[in-house]
Protein backbone atom coordinates (compact mmCIF):
# COMPACT_ATOMS: atom_id res chain seq x y z
CA UNK A 1 0.00 0.00 0.00
CA UNK A 2 1.38 3.41 -0.97
CA UNK A 3 2.37 5.65 1.91
CA UNK A 4 1.48 9.29 2.45
CA UNK A 5 4.38 11.42 3.68
CA UNK A 6 3.99 14.82 5.34
CA UNK A 7 6.91 17.25 5.14
CA UNK A 8 7.30 20.56 6.98
CA UNK A 9 9.98 23.07 7.91
CA UNK A 10 10.13 24.82 11.28
CA UNK A 11 12.19 27.46 13.05
CA UNK A 12 14.54 29.82 11.23
CA UNK A 13 14.95 29.53 7.50
CA UNK A 14 18.30 28.42 6.11
CA UNK A 15 19.66 27.82 2.60
CA UNK A 16 19.21 24.16 1.69
CA UNK A 17 15.64 23.60 2.88
CA UNK A 18 14.16 23.67 -0.62
CA UNK A 19 16.70 21.19 -2.07
CA UNK A 20 15.94 18.84 0.86
CA UNK A 21 12.18 19.09 0.21
CA UNK A 22 12.67 18.55 -3.52
CA UNK A 23 14.91 15.50 -3.09
CA UNK A 24 12.57 13.96 -0.54
CA UNK A 25 9.45 14.65 -2.61
CA UNK A 26 10.83 13.41 -5.92
CA UNK A 27 12.38 10.34 -4.30
CA UNK A 28 9.12 9.49 -2.56
CA UNK A 29 7.03 10.03 -5.70
CA UNK A 30 9.32 7.73 -7.67
CA UNK A 31 8.36 5.01 -5.19
CA UNK A 32 4.68 5.73 -5.70
CA UNK A 33 4.23 7.60 -2.41
CA UNK A 34 2.02 10.64 -1.94
CA UNK A 35 3.71 13.71 -0.45
CA UNK A 36 1.87 16.47 1.40
CA UNK A 37 3.61 19.78 2.06
CA UNK A 38 2.57 21.35 5.37
CA UNK A 39 2.77 25.14 5.37
CA UNK A 40 4.17 27.17 8.27
CA UNK A 41 5.74 24.30 10.19
CA UNK A 42 3.82 22.87 13.12
CA UNK A 43 1.45 25.86 12.86
CA UNK A 44 0.03 24.32 9.70
CA UNK A 45 -1.27 21.32 11.61
CA UNK A 46 -2.43 23.39 14.57
CA UNK A 47 -4.40 25.88 12.43
CA UNK A 48 -5.89 23.25 10.10
CA UNK A 49 -9.57 23.39 11.03
CA UNK A 50 -11.25 20.03 10.45
CA UNK A 51 -14.60 21.79 10.09
CA UNK A 52 -13.48 24.65 7.85
CA UNK A 53 -12.53 23.59 4.29
CA UNK A 54 -10.97 26.99 3.52
CA UNK A 55 -8.08 26.13 5.85
CA UNK A 56 -7.39 22.80 4.17
CA UNK A 57 -5.90 23.98 0.89
CA UNK A 58 -4.21 26.90 2.65
CA UNK A 59 -2.16 24.80 5.06
CA UNK A 60 -1.80 21.57 3.09
CA UNK A 61 -0.72 21.16 -0.52
CA UNK A 62 0.01 17.96 -2.34
CA UNK A 63 3.45 18.13 -3.86
CA UNK A 64 4.02 17.16 -7.47
CA UNK A 65 7.07 17.09 -9.74
CA UNK A 66 5.83 20.38 -11.22
CA UNK A 67 5.37 22.12 -7.86
CA UNK A 68 8.91 21.33 -6.69
CA UNK A 69 10.65 21.60 -10.07
CA UNK A 70 12.38 24.94 -9.47
CA UNK A 71 12.35 25.33 -5.67
CA UNK A 72 15.98 24.27 -5.22
CA UNK A 73 17.17 27.37 -7.07
CA UNK A 74 16.36 29.68 -4.17
CA UNK A 75 17.05 29.88 -0.46
CA UNK A 76 14.56 29.77 2.38
CA UNK A 77 11.60 27.40 2.37
CA UNK A 78 8.76 27.54 -0.11
CA UNK A 79 6.55 25.84 2.50
CA UNK A 80 7.19 28.75 4.88
CA UNK A 81 8.00 28.31 8.54
CA UNK A 82 7.07 29.24 12.10
CA UNK A 83 8.24 28.74 15.66
CA UNK A 84 4.95 27.23 16.80
CA UNK A 85 5.17 24.52 19.44
CA UNK A 86 1.81 22.68 19.63
CA UNK A 87 2.58 21.30 23.08
CA UNK A 88 3.01 24.83 24.46
CA UNK A 89 0.49 27.25 22.93
CA UNK A 90 -0.29 30.58 24.58
CA UNK A 91 -3.81 32.03 24.64
CA UNK A 92 -2.87 34.68 22.08
CA UNK A 93 -1.45 32.06 19.70
CA UNK A 94 -4.39 29.65 19.98
CA UNK A 95 -6.67 29.48 16.91
CA UNK A 96 -10.19 30.68 17.73
CA UNK A 97 -11.76 27.36 16.86
CA UNK A 98 -9.60 25.56 19.43
CA UNK A 99 -10.29 27.93 22.32
CA UNK A 100 -12.45 26.23 24.96
CA UNK A 101 -12.44 23.02 22.88
CA UNK A 102 -12.00 19.48 24.15
CA UNK A 103 -8.58 19.22 22.53
CA UNK A 104 -6.50 21.34 24.87
CA UNK A 105 -4.70 20.17 27.99
CA UNK A 106 -3.32 22.77 30.43
CA UNK A 107 0.46 22.69 30.70
CA UNK A 108 1.45 22.32 34.39
CA UNK A 109 3.13 25.34 35.98
CA UNK A 110 2.44 27.47 32.88
CA UNK A 111 -0.44 29.88 33.24
CA UNK A 112 -2.54 30.15 30.10
CA UNK A 113 -0.39 27.68 28.14
CA UNK A 114 -2.10 24.69 26.52
CA UNK A 115 -0.96 21.43 24.95
CA UNK A 116 -2.73 20.67 21.65
CA UNK A 117 -0.75 17.56 20.73
CA UNK A 118 -3.94 15.45 20.63
CA UNK A 119 -5.45 17.80 18.06
CA UNK A 120 -2.35 17.69 15.88
CA UNK A 121 -2.49 13.89 15.96
CA UNK A 122 -6.17 14.04 14.95
CA UNK A 123 -5.31 16.27 11.97
CA UNK A 124 -2.51 13.90 10.95
CA UNK A 125 -4.97 11.01 11.09
CA UNK A 126 -7.54 12.98 9.08
CA UNK A 127 -4.94 13.72 6.39
CA UNK A 128 -3.94 10.07 6.20
CA UNK A 129 -0.27 10.84 6.83
CA UNK A 130 1.70 7.66 7.47
CA UNK A 131 5.11 9.24 8.14
CA UNK A 132 6.09 12.78 9.12
CA UNK A 133 9.39 14.25 7.90
CA UNK A 134 10.00 17.49 9.83
CA UNK A 135 13.06 19.53 8.89
CA UNK A 136 14.29 21.75 11.70
CA UNK A 137 16.56 22.47 14.62
CA UNK A 138 16.37 21.02 18.11
CA UNK A 139 13.31 23.14 18.99
CA UNK A 140 11.26 22.02 15.99
CA UNK A 141 12.46 18.44 16.32
CA UNK A 142 11.59 18.35 20.04
CA UNK A 143 7.93 18.19 19.02
CA UNK A 144 8.80 15.47 16.51
CA UNK A 145 10.12 13.51 19.48
CA UNK A 146 6.80 14.07 21.27
CA UNK A 147 4.86 12.73 18.28
CA UNK A 148 7.24 9.77 18.03
CA UNK A 149 6.55 8.95 21.68
CA UNK A 150 2.83 9.15 20.94
CA UNK A 151 3.29 6.47 18.27
CA UNK A 152 3.57 8.61 15.13
CA UNK A 153 6.22 7.38 12.64
CA UNK A 154 8.78 10.16 12.18
CA UNK A 155 11.95 10.62 10.13
CA UNK A 156 13.63 13.94 10.98
CA UNK A 157 16.13 16.07 9.06
CA UNK A 158 18.44 18.42 11.04
CA UNK A 159 18.87 22.01 9.90
CA UNK A 160 20.32 25.01 11.64
CA UNK A 161 22.72 27.71 10.63
CA UNK A 162 24.41 27.34 14.05
CA UNK A 163 25.15 23.64 13.40
CA UNK A 164 24.03 22.88 16.95
CA UNK A 165 21.56 19.97 16.66
CA UNK A 166 22.77 17.25 19.00
CA UNK A 167 23.43 13.89 17.32
CA UNK A 168 24.88 15.03 13.99
CA UNK A 169 28.18 16.58 12.92
CA UNK A 170 26.47 18.71 10.30
CA UNK A 171 23.15 20.50 9.82
CA UNK A 172 21.63 21.90 6.63
CA UNK A 173 22.42 25.60 6.32
CA UNK A 174 25.71 25.77 8.18
CA UNK A 175 28.11 25.88 5.23
CA UNK A 176 26.25 28.68 3.48
CA UNK A 177 26.05 30.72 6.69
CA UNK A 178 29.82 30.44 7.12
CA UNK A 179 30.42 31.22 3.44
CA UNK A 180 28.25 34.34 3.64
CA UNK A 181 29.99 35.43 6.86
CA UNK A 182 33.48 35.04 5.42
CA UNK A 183 32.48 37.04 2.34
CA UNK A 184 31.02 39.89 4.41
CA UNK A 185 33.98 39.96 6.81
CA UNK A 186 36.42 40.07 3.89
CA UNK A 187 34.45 42.87 2.23
CA UNK A 188 34.16 44.80 5.48
CA UNK A 189 37.96 45.00 5.69
CA UNK A 190 37.73 47.61 2.90
CA UNK A 191 36.03 50.18 5.11
CA UNK A 192 37.63 49.17 8.40
CA UNK A 193 41.08 49.40 6.83
CA UNK A 194 40.37 52.62 4.95
CA UNK A 195 39.33 54.37 8.16
CA UNK A 196 41.94 52.59 10.34
CA UNK A 197 39.38 51.41 12.86
CA UNK A 198 38.49 48.35 14.93
CA UNK A 199 35.79 46.23 13.28
CA UNK A 200 33.39 44.07 15.28
CA UNK A 201 31.17 41.57 13.44
CA UNK A 202 28.34 39.92 15.36
CA UNK A 203 27.18 36.54 14.06
CA UNK A 204 24.23 34.31 14.90
CA UNK A 205 24.93 31.58 17.45
CA UNK A 206 22.84 31.08 20.61
CA UNK A 207 24.37 28.09 22.38
CA UNK A 208 27.17 27.26 19.97
CA UNK A 209 29.91 29.62 18.83
CA UNK A 210 30.79 27.47 15.86
CA UNK A 211 29.79 30.07 13.24
CA UNK A 212 31.99 32.69 14.93
CA UNK A 213 34.84 30.21 15.34
CA UNK A 214 34.84 28.83 11.79
CA UNK A 215 34.18 32.19 10.12
CA UNK A 216 37.00 33.76 12.12
CA UNK A 217 39.32 30.88 11.28
CA UNK A 218 38.62 31.07 7.53
CA UNK A 219 38.78 34.87 7.27
CA UNK A 220 41.86 35.30 9.49
CA UNK A 221 40.26 37.84 11.84
CA UNK A 222 42.38 38.99 14.76
CA UNK A 223 40.14 37.73 17.60
CA UNK A 224 37.02 35.57 17.90
CA UNK A 225 34.60 35.53 20.82
CA UNK A 226 32.38 32.44 21.09
CA UNK A 227 29.31 31.57 23.16
CA UNK A 228 31.09 28.93 25.21
CA UNK A 229 33.79 31.14 26.80
CA UNK A 230 32.98 34.29 28.84
CA UNK A 231 35.39 37.06 27.85
CA UNK A 232 37.18 39.83 29.70
CA UNK A 233 36.47 43.14 27.98
CA UNK A 234 39.69 44.86 29.16
CA UNK A 235 41.78 41.95 27.95
CA UNK A 236 39.97 41.92 24.60
CA UNK A 237 40.42 45.69 24.18
CA UNK A 238 44.17 45.42 24.81
CA UNK A 239 44.48 42.57 22.30
CA UNK A 240 42.71 44.61 19.62
CA UNK A 241 44.90 47.65 20.25
CA UNK A 242 47.95 45.45 19.85
CA UNK A 243 46.51 43.83 16.70
CA UNK A 244 45.83 47.26 15.21
CA UNK A 245 49.36 48.50 15.93
CA UNK A 246 50.89 45.36 14.42
CA UNK A 247 48.83 45.62 11.23
CA UNK A 248 50.61 47.61 8.47
CA UNK A 249 47.17 48.95 7.47
CA UNK A 250 46.52 50.00 11.09
CA UNK A 251 43.20 48.23 11.73
CA UNK A 252 41.86 45.19 13.58
CA UNK A 253 38.78 43.03 13.13
CA UNK A 254 37.01 40.44 15.27
CA UNK A 255 33.92 38.22 15.35
CA UNK A 256 31.54 37.64 18.24
CA UNK A 257 28.67 35.18 18.73
CA UNK A 258 25.28 36.68 19.58
CA UNK A 259 25.18 34.36 22.61
CA UNK A 260 28.56 35.49 23.96
CA UNK A 261 28.84 36.65 27.57
CA UNK A 262 31.21 39.15 29.16
CA UNK A 263 32.74 38.02 32.44
CA UNK A 264 30.29 38.97 35.17
CA UNK A 265 27.57 39.68 32.60
CA UNK A 266 24.74 37.76 30.99
CA UNK A 267 23.37 36.88 27.56
CA UNK A 268 21.81 39.92 25.84
CA UNK A 269 18.15 39.14 25.11
CA UNK A 270 15.07 41.20 24.28
CA UNK A 271 11.34 40.76 23.69
CA UNK A 272 8.99 38.02 24.85
CA UNK A 273 9.97 34.37 24.94
CA UNK A 274 8.76 32.26 22.03
CA UNK A 275 6.96 28.91 22.32
CA UNK A 276 10.27 27.19 23.02
CA UNK A 277 11.27 29.59 25.79
CA UNK A 278 13.77 31.62 23.76
CA UNK A 279 13.91 35.40 23.74
CA UNK A 280 15.51 37.26 20.81
CA UNK A 281 19.29 37.41 21.02
CA UNK A 282 21.51 40.15 19.66
CA UNK A 283 23.28 43.29 20.72
CA UNK A 284 26.29 41.92 22.57
CA UNK A 285 28.45 43.11 19.68
CA UNK A 286 27.15 46.66 20.01
CA UNK A 287 27.70 46.66 23.78
CA UNK A 288 31.19 45.28 23.23
CA UNK A 289 31.87 47.98 20.62
CA UNK A 290 30.80 50.74 23.01
CA UNK A 291 32.94 49.31 25.81
CA UNK A 292 36.02 48.95 23.60
CA UNK A 293 35.63 52.51 22.32
CA UNK A 294 35.44 53.76 25.90
CA UNK A 295 38.46 51.71 26.97
CA UNK A 296 40.68 52.44 23.97
CA UNK A 297 39.49 55.76 22.57
CA UNK A 298 39.42 54.13 19.13
CA UNK A 299 36.66 54.52 16.57
CA UNK A 300 34.71 51.29 16.07
CA UNK A 301 32.83 49.83 13.12
CA UNK A 302 30.15 47.45 14.38
CA UNK A 303 28.20 45.21 12.01
CA UNK A 304 25.50 42.74 13.00
CA UNK A 305 25.21 40.35 10.06
CA UNK A 306 22.03 38.72 11.35
CA UNK A 307 19.70 37.43 8.66
CA UNK A 308 22.18 38.13 5.86
CA UNK A 309 24.03 35.02 7.03
CA UNK A 310 21.16 32.79 5.97
CA UNK A 311 19.82 34.65 2.96
CA UNK A 312 20.08 33.57 -0.64
CA UNK A 313 20.59 30.25 -2.38
CA UNK A 314 22.61 27.44 -0.74
CA UNK A 315 26.20 26.74 -1.61
CA UNK A 316 27.27 23.42 -3.14
CA UNK A 317 27.94 21.70 0.18
CA UNK A 318 24.55 22.59 1.60
CA UNK A 319 22.92 21.39 -1.62
CA UNK A 320 24.81 18.10 -1.38
CA UNK A 321 23.91 17.47 2.25
CA UNK A 322 20.29 18.61 1.87
CA UNK A 323 19.67 16.38 -1.15
CA UNK A 324 21.42 13.43 0.49
CA UNK A 325 19.45 13.87 3.72
CA UNK A 326 16.21 14.00 1.72
CA UNK A 327 17.04 10.85 -0.24
CA UNK A 328 18.21 9.02 2.90
CA UNK A 329 14.92 9.91 4.60
CA UNK A 330 12.97 8.32 1.73
CA UNK A 331 15.09 5.18 1.95
CA UNK A 332 14.35 4.91 5.67
CA UNK A 333 10.63 5.30 5.03
CA UNK A 334 10.73 2.59 2.37
CA UNK A 335 12.30 0.25 4.95
CA UNK A 336 9.81 1.32 7.66
CA UNK A 337 12.82 2.43 9.69
CA UNK A 338 11.24 5.37 11.50
CA UNK A 339 11.84 7.12 14.82
CA UNK A 340 15.16 8.27 13.34
CA UNK A 341 16.99 11.47 12.46
CA UNK A 342 19.32 11.43 9.46
CA UNK A 343 22.82 12.57 10.35
CA UNK A 344 26.46 12.89 9.38
CA UNK A 345 29.15 11.27 11.52
CA UNK A 346 32.79 11.42 10.53
CA UNK A 347 31.85 12.51 7.01
CA UNK A 348 29.49 9.56 6.46
CA UNK A 349 25.70 9.54 6.27
CA UNK A 350 23.98 7.65 9.05
CA UNK A 351 21.02 7.81 11.42
CA UNK A 352 20.45 8.28 15.14
CA UNK A 353 17.31 7.86 17.25
CA UNK A 354 15.23 11.03 16.90
CA UNK A 355 15.23 11.34 20.70
CA UNK A 356 18.94 12.12 20.45
CA UNK A 357 18.08 15.77 19.78
CA UNK A 358 16.99 16.08 23.42
CA UNK A 359 20.11 14.41 24.82
CA UNK A 360 22.20 17.57 25.11
CA UNK A 361 23.40 20.81 23.57
CA UNK A 362 26.01 20.63 20.82
CA UNK A 363 28.77 23.13 21.51
CA UNK A 364 32.32 23.94 20.39
CA UNK A 365 35.02 21.61 21.70
CA UNK A 366 36.92 24.47 23.30
CA UNK A 367 39.89 22.39 24.43
CA UNK A 368 40.53 21.20 20.87
CA UNK A 369 39.66 24.22 18.74
CA UNK A 370 39.92 27.45 20.74
CA UNK A 371 42.64 29.37 22.57
CA UNK A 372 40.84 30.72 25.64
CA UNK A 373 43.83 32.88 26.60
CA UNK A 374 44.23 34.58 23.22
CA UNK A 375 40.58 34.55 22.08
CA UNK A 376 41.50 32.87 18.81
CA UNK A 377 40.65 29.73 16.85
CA UNK A 378 43.47 27.28 17.37
CA UNK A 379 43.40 23.65 16.30
CA UNK A 380 45.68 21.68 18.57
CA UNK A 381 46.18 18.78 16.15
CA UNK A 382 44.69 18.46 12.67
CA UNK A 383 45.19 14.70 12.40
CA UNK A 384 41.77 13.03 12.43
CA UNK A 385 39.88 16.32 12.87
CA UNK A 386 36.45 16.59 11.14
CA UNK A 387 36.27 18.86 8.10
CA UNK A 388 34.14 21.45 9.92
CA UNK A 389 35.99 21.18 13.26
CA UNK A 390 32.74 19.89 14.79
Q: Is residue 383 part of a domain?
A: no
Do residues 120 and 181 share a domain?
A: no
Q: What is the pLDDT of residue 44?
A: 98
Do residues 151 and 212 share a domain?
A: no
Which of 64-68, 250-254, 380-384 has the lowest average pLDDT? 380-384
pLDDT in tens, 134-182: 999 999 999 999 999 999 999 999 999 989 999 999 999 999 999 999 9
Do residues 90 and 186 share a domain?
A: no
Do residues 182 and 306 share a domain?
A: yes
| Domain at 16, CATH number | 3.40.50.450
Q: Is residue 384 part of a domain?
A: no
Do residues 340 and 273 share a domain?
A: no
d(CA 193, CA 251): 5
Do residues 74 and 203 share a domain?
A: no
Q: Is residue 386 part of a domain?
A: no
| Domain at 236, CATH number | 3.40.50.460
Q: Is residue 390 part of a domain?
A: no
Q: Is residue 387 part of a domain?
A: no
- List the catalytic residues: 162
Name the pLDDT band for 269 (thresholds 50, 70, 90). Answer: low
- Integer CA distances (angstroms), 72 to 35, 158, 378, in order: 17, 17, 36
Residue 83's domain comprises 4-172+314-358
pLDDT in tens, 347-387: 999 999 999 999 988 889 999 999 999 999 999 888 888 77
Q: Is residue 304 part of a domain?
A: yes
Q: What is the pLDDT of residue 1?
A: 67
Q: Is residue 389 part of a domain?
A: no
Q: What is the pLDDT of residue 261?
A: 92
Q: Is residue 258 part of a domain?
A: yes
pLDDT in tens, 19-41: 999 999 999 999 999 999 999 99
Do residues 124 and 167 share a domain?
A: yes
Do residues 165 and 225 share a domain?
A: no
Would you say residue 388 has pLDDT above 70?
yes
Do residues 307 and 195 share a domain?
A: yes
Do residues 101 and 83 share a domain?
A: yes
Do residues 296 and 319 share a domain?
A: no
Q: What is the pLDDT of residue 91?
A: 93
Which residues fall within 8 angstroms of residue 110, CB to CB, at 6 or more apart?
Answer: 88
pLDDT in tens, 282-323: 689 999 999 999 999 999 999 998 888 888 999 999 999 999
Which of 203-212, 216-225, 313-322, 343-352 has the lowest average pLDDT? 203-212
Do residues 127 and 273 share a domain?
A: no
* Count of structural domains within the chain: 2
Amino acid sequence: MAKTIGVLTGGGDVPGLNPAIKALALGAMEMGYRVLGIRRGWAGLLHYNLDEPSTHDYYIRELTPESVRTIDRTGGTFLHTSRTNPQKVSKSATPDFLKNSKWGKPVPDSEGVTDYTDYVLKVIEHLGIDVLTPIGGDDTLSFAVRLHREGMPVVALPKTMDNDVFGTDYCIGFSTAVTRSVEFITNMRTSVGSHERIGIVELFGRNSGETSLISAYLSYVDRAIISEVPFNIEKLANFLLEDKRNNPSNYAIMTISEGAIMEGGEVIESGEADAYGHRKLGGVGEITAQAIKQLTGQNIMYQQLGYLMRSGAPDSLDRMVAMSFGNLAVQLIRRNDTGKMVALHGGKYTTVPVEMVLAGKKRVDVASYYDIDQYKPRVKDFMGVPMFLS
